[in-house]
Homo-oligomer: A and B are copies of this chain.
Amino acid sequence: MNDRFLRALRREPVDRPPVWMMRQAGRYLPEYRAVRRRSDFLTMCRTPELAAEVTLQPVDILGVDAAIIFSDILVIPAAMGMDLSVDEGVGPQFSDPVRSMADLARLRDVEPEEGLRYHLDALRLTRRALNGRVPLIGFAGAPWTLFAYMTEGRGTKSFAIAKRALFAEPAFAHALLGRLADNVGRFLVAQAAAGAQALQIFDSWSGSLGPREYREFALPYLARAARIAKTSGVPVICFAPGAGWALSEIADATGCDALGVDWHTDAAWARGVADGAGTALQGNLDPTTLYAAPAVIRERTQAMLGAFDRPGYIANLGHGILPDIPVDHARAFVDAVQAWDSRAESARAPATEAPR
């Protein structure tokens, strides 16, 4: 079995960094688009055979070192009783946003093997199909990010409704965030039981909060979910794009095994945090780098490897792969990591990207 990914999560030496890409089961792959033409997005999430099929595609096509189950962060609010739809062009929407204690009282707590059985079945099916080739990652959205979708009812640029709720009704906000943390944590534990070998929590909208609100409304609930997830015994990765300034606090509060690093964050800074906290790192190539020619992608990727390479490093993008990236460019990224020899490179000094 290719266990580079799990070894890196444990900060053990590897021959080269493991590599996968956030959103690697996605629209940039023609094979994904072929499945997507036959069925809508939510049907794909809710049909274990389809979810397993697209989860395996990047492993077969690009040779990445980990699979991440195809699903969506909004399956939890849907399982709690909200009416989720995904409109082409508009993105996900809830017809019944949650904006008061009364709305909150209507939500139910999720028993994962009931309300999210399809997701767990997809994990079981994929794990069997992988047959030990690469490890399988389960995931969930973090409470703040779910809170923002649930109160806004859709994607937003200003987060006006979600943030008004924090300012005007902090008791409601804390109540909803607390329930979400418990539901997210339980869902992650169930994913580990269903075969996930690592768990990633996506706090996709971390960057919508300034430090004070982040510390009050996002970090404590990310930490609560992560600490529940940790009881499964499976390693936990926390990814909080837009909150690079908080990496050290995130490591401390969550006890996570690895920190996801967004593409805005300086490698030397992230290394300093991880060395202090004793975590692994995962990231962080600017996804738009994959618009460049393959030779540029290779050069930029290897500069990143030089800046990050250490026991406990997982190569990835610093955000999800964009849907209009040519497959050959995604392949150039993966190949550049696979061509890297950590043992040879660690003898070279200094790293290609100069530390501060």
Report whether B168 and A212 are in contact in the complex, using a CB–CB cutoff of 8 Å: no
A residues 143-187 touching B (CB-CB < 8 Å)? 158-160, 163-164, 167-168
Contacts of A210 in B (CB 8 A): 263-264, 284, 286, 318
A242 within 8 A of B: yes
A residues 310-338 touching B (CB-CB < 8 Å)? 318, 322, 324
Report whether A245 and B269 are in contact in the complex, using a CB–CB cutoff of 8 Å: yes
Contacts of A167 in B (CB 8 A): 289, 291-293, 296, 300
Report whether B322 and A292 are in contact in the complex, using a CB–CB cutoff of 8 Å: no
Report whether B292 and A266 are in contact in the complex, using a CB–CB cutoff of 8 Å: no
Contacts of A284 in B (CB 8 A): 210
Contacts of A296 in B (CB 8 A): 167-168
Which of under 10, 10 to 19, 20 to 34, or 35 or more describes the interface residues of A?
A: 35 or more
Q: Given contacts A158-B322, A210-B286, A318-B210, is CB(A164)–CB(B291) below 8 Å?
A: yes
Alpha-carbon distance A291/B289, docked complex (angstroms): 37
A69 within 8 A of B: no
Alpha-carbon distance A322/B300, docked complex (angstroms): 37
Contacts of A289 in B (CB 8 A): 163, 167
Contacts of A266 in B (CB 8 A): 211, 245
A265 within 8 A of B: yes
Alpha-carbon distance A303/B211, docked complex (angstroms): 12
Interface centre among A159, A209, A288 (most CB of B within 10 A): A288
Q: Which of B213, B245, B264 contacts A211 (CB under 8 A)?
A: B264
State the oligomeric state as a number of copies. 2
Can you name the residue of chain B whose Cβ is closest to the Cβ of A246? Answer: B266
A49 within 8 A of B: no
Q: Given contacts A168-B292, A245-B245, A292-B164, is CB(A212)–CB(B158) below 8 Å?
A: no
Alpha-carbon distance A21/B352, docked complex (angstroms): 41
Can you name the residue of chain B whose Cβ is closest to the Cβ of A157? Answer: B157
A260 within 8 A of B: no
A257: shortest Cβ distance to chain B, in Å? 23
Contacts of A211 in B (CB 8 A): 264-267
Alpha-carbon distance A317/B177, docked complex (angstroms): 27
A residues 286-308 touching B (CB-CB < 8 Å)? 286, 288-289, 291-293, 296, 300, 303
Interface residues of A (CB under 8 A from B): 158-160, 163-164, 167-168, 207, 209-213, 242, 244-245, 263-267, 269, 284, 286, 288-289, 291-293, 296, 300, 303, 318, 322, 324, 353
Q: Which 9 pairs from chain A and chain B are nearest by CB?
A: A167-B292, A210-B286, A211-B266, A163-B288, A210-B263, A164-B291, A167-B296, A245-B266, A160-B291
Given contacts A163-B288, A167-B293, 16 further A-B contacts (CB under 8 A): A158-B288, A158-B322, A159-B288, A160-B324, A163-B289, A167-B300, A168-B296, A207-B264, A210-B263, A210-B264, A211-B266, A211-B267, A212-B303, A212-B353, A245-B266, A245-B269
